[in-house]
Amino acid sequence: MRSFLRRDVPPRVALAVVALALAAAVVGGRAKREPPVVVATAAPTAVPGAATGAAADLDLERLQRQRKAETIPDLFAPPVAPANPPGPAKAPPSEPAKPQFPFRYVGKIIDGGKREVFLARGEAHYSVGAGQTIDNLYKVEKFTDQAVTLVHLPSGARHQVPISAAN
């Protein structure tokens, strides 16, 4: 037998080339095939005396798929701003306003190791020491030679009342 090729081709390579050619033919044939067309026909009329079965009860109009009237959005179009842009973000509620300090310093007394300070609010006068409360609203937190620190109990705000050195 006469060889058409100038070189001898190993059998494995020849088999691989044939397999690739067959695969390409199969894939190419599938791509060209069109889906079958379904044609709806009117339901046959019942003939008297004929057998009625499941085929006679089949409503072909119900088998047809209805197309939706939706439009497909363009994925490559630039984004469109919403008609009602969101308003500015609401600020979180602020802390309750620090109450105005109602007391004024009147004087102090030191009796042995006990210290007390005299405070006035309007016409009312108070004599308080460390740890005492005034009207269940203010508590004396610290008492030093330079100042008295009062805490407003509902808000936790601290107020310092300076003590004059002359007293």
Q: Each residue of 100-132: pLDDT tens digit?
A: 778 888 888 878 878 888 888 888 888 888 888
| Residue 54's pLDDT band (cuts 50, 70, 90) | low
Amino acid 124 reads: A
Q: How far apart are CA 41 and CA 97, in angstroms?
A: 81
Average pLDDT over residues 66-85: 75
How large is the greatest C-alpha to C-alpha distance in the chain, in angstroms? 135
Q: Which residue has the tokens 């042995």?
A: 112
Beta partners for residue 143, in sequence order: 148
The CATH number of domain 104-162 is 1.10.150: no
